[in-house]
Chains A and B, each alone.
Chain A
Amino acid sequence: MEMTVAFSPEDIKSENRTFRFVLTFSVMFIFWVLLSAWSVYFPEPYDFTKVSRGVFCALIVTLLTWEIFVPRRGDKVLLKVQRLIPYMAWEIWQIYLAAVDVAKRILGILDIDPQIVEFDTPMLRSDFAFLAFATSITLTPGTVTILVDPERGRYTCHAIAKGPADGLAVDQGMQKYVAWVFMEESKEGEK
């Protein structure tokens, strides 16, 4: 029942609309300061026209993106971010392993035995989790995502050898990790 309430029109009218707008604007303005203002504008004396350029640009971007920048229903955002940071560090380590793996196969140390794997992901639910998992498959050694069916949670992947294919379809360790990061273990429990 929670899902249907979350996207109702009453929620759009609620007061956190201002908060979302202001938060988006602050992030965009800080982004502008970091990217262009720090070295170009700020060493010179303070001038309203210079800063107003940044405010103007940040305002345009905010008007375009504030509805999608801050999600309407932020549930345990801090905990998710706390779990996301070690996940990204782990992912960078996986990128290193993937490059070493594919380099070994190019140089002929390991054999290639390509195959296409299909498997279901009953644990994942939100779009962002699907996207993160598809990107993670592409970044981890030996596998690339081909198709994602978000309705059924069905993934079609191309694996370069049998080892990476079994890691995805049989062990499913990464799937559990992504589900843990996005806190989506309890799909059956909610329904």
Chain B
Amino acid sequence: MLAIDIISTLFMLAGAFVMILGPVGLLKFPDFYTRIHAAGKGDTLGQILVIFGCMIYEGFSFITIKLLMVVLFYLFAGPCSTHALMKAAYVTGVPVWKKGDKRM
């Protein structure tokens, strides 16, 4: 039981670390598009790792299947929301930062 606790905690901590990098990138990157990169990409892996930790903690039961469905839903919903934000910004003409420009 202790081993399961340790493994699941490690997974959840790894997920939390990946998700903390998102806001850091949000502050550090220069424009809207690159910030979406930072916010959208790390989140997918972070969420999957946290839910995977929960699955290991729970053991094999029907809650595991429900968590697996949450992961699958996240795999579809994450890219869709990123894509919707990107498209809205691109259509309304948010300027694109190029290398060498000033920060926006």
User: Complex: how many Å from CA A145 to CA B46?
Assistant: 21
Known interface pairs A144-B33, A158-B33; A134-B41 also in contact (CB < 8 Å): no
Residues of B close to A35: CB separation below 8 A: 66, 69
Q: Among A45-53, A75-83, A108-116, A174-182, which stretch is in contact with chain B?
A: A108-116
User: Complex: how many Å from CA A134 to CA B76?
Assistant: 11
Flag if A99 contacts B65 (CB, 8 Å). no
Flag if B42 contacts A102 (CB, 8 Å). yes
Flag if B34 contacts A96 (CB, 8 Å). no
Flag if B18 contacts A103 (CB, 8 Å). yes
Residues of B close to A3: CB separation below 8 A: none
B interface residues, tally (CB under 8 Å): 38
Flag if A103 contacts B33 (CB, 8 Å). no
Known interface pairs A39-B62, A99-B41, A139-B44; A158-B86 also in contact (CB < 8 Å): yes
> Quick one: which of B37, B76, B78 contacts A102, CB cutoff 8 A?
B37
Residues of B close to A27: CB separation below 8 A: none
A22 at the interface (CB under 8 A from B): no
A156 at the interface (CB under 8 A from B): yes
Residues of A close to B96: CB separation below 8 A: 114-116, 158
A155 to chain B, nearest CB (A): 11
* Most B Cβ at <10 Å: residue of A101, A114, A142, A145: A114
The 0/1 profile, CB within 8 Å of B marked 1, for residues 78-105 of chain A is: 0000000000000010011011011101
> Quick one: which of B18, B76, B82, B98 contacts A144, CB cutoff 8 A?
B82
A146 at the interface (CB under 8 A from B): yes
Flag if B41 contacts A146 (CB, 8 Å). no
Residues of A close to B44: CB separation below 8 A: 95, 98-99, 139
Known interface pairs A144-B37, A145-B83, A146-B90; A113-B21 also in contact (CB < 8 Å): no
Flag if A106 contacts B25 (CB, 8 Å). yes
Residues of B close to A158: CB separation below 8 A: 33, 37, 86, 90, 96
* Most A Cβ at <10 Å: residue of B29, B37, B75, B83: B37
The 0/1 profile, CB within 8 Å of A marked 1, for residues 64-104 of chain B is: 01100100000110111011001100100000111100000
Instruction: Give B residues with C-beta under 8 Å from A.
Output: 18, 21, 24-25, 28-31, 33-34, 36-38, 40-42, 44-46, 48, 62, 65-66, 69, 75-76, 78-80, 82-83, 86-87, 90, 96-99
Given contact pairs A102-B42, A139-B75, enumerate 19 new A-B contacts (beta carbons under 8 Å): A92-B48, A98-B41, A98-B45, A99-B41, A99-B44, A102-B21, A106-B25, A107-B21, A112-B29, A112-B99, A114-B98, A135-B80, A138-B79, A141-B41, A142-B37, A144-B40, A146-B87, A158-B90, A160-B34
